[in-house]
Structure 1
Amino acid sequence: MTDLATYSRSGPFGTVVIDDGKANVMSLAMLNALHVAFDQAEKDKTVVILKARGKHFSGGFDLNVFAKGSAQDQYLMVKAGAELALRILSFPTPVVAACQGNAYPMGAFLIMSSDHRIAAGRLPDRHERGRDRAHRAAFCNRNRTAAADASLFQQGSDDRGDVRPHGGRHRRLL
């Protein structure tokens, strides 16, 4: 079996690649491997690019642990995930998440914890109405507006036809 997460450095940039050979589920082993990769990136003081191999970024938490694992296993996996998301939020150098395909919870939490997010792929035609918001969400950064959270938007529009955040004000993510 290959490493679940690998770290490589190229000048001031470090790349952390998620790859379990399948759906990139966030098992306890994967989360621990990501912690080790971020340890090295922090030691090298590099700007981190977080990406995944395969069709999708992540299948989320390992559902087998929730279905068949003990309460202790479930707790350890969720705790490791929360600690990793918090670590990315407070990482000393910028973290850029490059997402392709789906990112289910825990994978999505890692993306949202990153300083910048870049999404690849095209939405199916049945989602044309929400495409503009999805594209805005894909290229925002967490230190600006909360445009990444589409649930903050009302269905109303201002005079120009732009969708506006609740209350007409921008909310900060942090």
Structure 2
Amino acid sequence: MSDLIDYRLEEGVATLTLNNGKVNAISPDVIAAFNNALDRAEQDRAVVVITGQPGILSGGYDLKVMTAGPQQAVDLVSAGSTLARRLLAHPHPVIVACSGHAVAKGAFLLLAADYRIGVEGPFHIGLNEVMIGMTMHHAGIELARDRLRRSAFHRSVICAEMFDPQGALSAGFLDEVVAAEALPQAIAKAAQRLKSINQVAHRNTKLKVRKALLDSLDDAIAKDKEQFKVG
């Protein structure tokens, strides 16, 4: 397993820990490691927990790649959107334990999970693309439209509003907020609960519930590739 994603399997729970610098930047190599880890989790038939280091889940896409050239940026965003789609359709439950900040692609990881736990503290969670001069991609819009509460969708996507953990809970980025020291126990409780449900029924129901979103993401990913085609 790649050093960028630490994979640990314990009693039917696969913990995937992002480990790419101080902000856990999402690069092509990180996405490849993510997909390899998800392949392994499927083989292990494990509930998936995605987390980062204390204080940070992820600060978003690797800016060195995003600014290297138009094609590199298009390819990275496309791969990231495809990863989000895969998480949404993963056959076993996916938990994201947000150990601090979750910005841009970091926040989209939250929107692609089945259950999201955050920690209390002076952390920022949200989609800052418009703030930093990036027009939101179609796939990001569709994912946010489906998973965020209606009252927060426009504030988040169009106005780049960032939320503290309690605000992120209200907006729809998180399902639960706990004290930082209580995060391991909250993860264990959520994982045990999700292990106890019927996994085949979970997978089949998930695909039914999310069919419209998955179809929209397929169209959006194709549209983003076409709109930003280089050459």
Q: TM-score, normalised by structure 1?
A: 0.70
The alignment-based identity, stated in percent, is: 34
**Where do 1:123-162 residues align within 5 Å?**
123=122, 133-136=167-170, 137=172, 138-139=174-175
Q: Which has the higher helix share?
A: 2
Matched, 1:77 2:76: yes
Q: CA–CA distance in 1 between the matches of 2:14 and 2:31?
A: 18
Which protein has the larger Cα radius of gyration, Structure 1 or Structure 2? 1
**Which residue identity does 1:81 align to in structure 2?**
G
Residues 118-153 of structure 1: CA deviation (Å, up to 9, x unaligned): 0012248xxxxx87554444216xxxxxxxxxxxxx
Q: After TM superposition, give the deviation of residue 71 of structure 1 in Å.
A: 2.2
The answer for the alignment partner of 2:34 in structure 1 is: 34
The answer for the alignment partner of 2:104 in structure 1 is: 105
Runs of at least 5 residues in structure 2 that lack an aligned partner in the other structure: 124-163, 177-208, 214-231
Q: After TM superposition, give the deviation of residue 55 of structure 1 in Å.
A: 2.2
Q: TM-score, normalised by structure 2?
A: 0.54
Residues 59-98 of structure 1: CA deviation (Å, up to 9, x unaligned): 101112222x122211221111011100000000000000
Which runs of structure 1 show a deviation greater than 4 angstroms over 4 or more consecutive aligned residues? Answer: 130-133
SS at match of 1:57: strand
SS at match of 1:84: helix
RMSD: 2.3
Question: In 1, are the aligned partners of 2:97 and 2:118 still within 8 Å (CA)?
Answer: yes
The answer for the alignment partner of 2:65 in structure 1 is: 65
SS at match of 2:17: strand
SS at match of 2:81: helix
Matched, 1:23 2:59: no
Runs of at least 5 residues in structure 1 that lack an aligned partner in the other structure: 125-129, 141-171
**Which residue identity does 1:94 align to in structure 2?**
P
Q: CA–CA distance in 2 between the matches of 1:91 and 1:78?
A: 20
Q: CA–CA distance in 2 between the matches of 1:50 and 1:99?
A: 8
Residues 20-72 of structure 1: CA deviation (Å, up to 9, x unaligned): 132100011111111111111011110000101242110101112222x1222
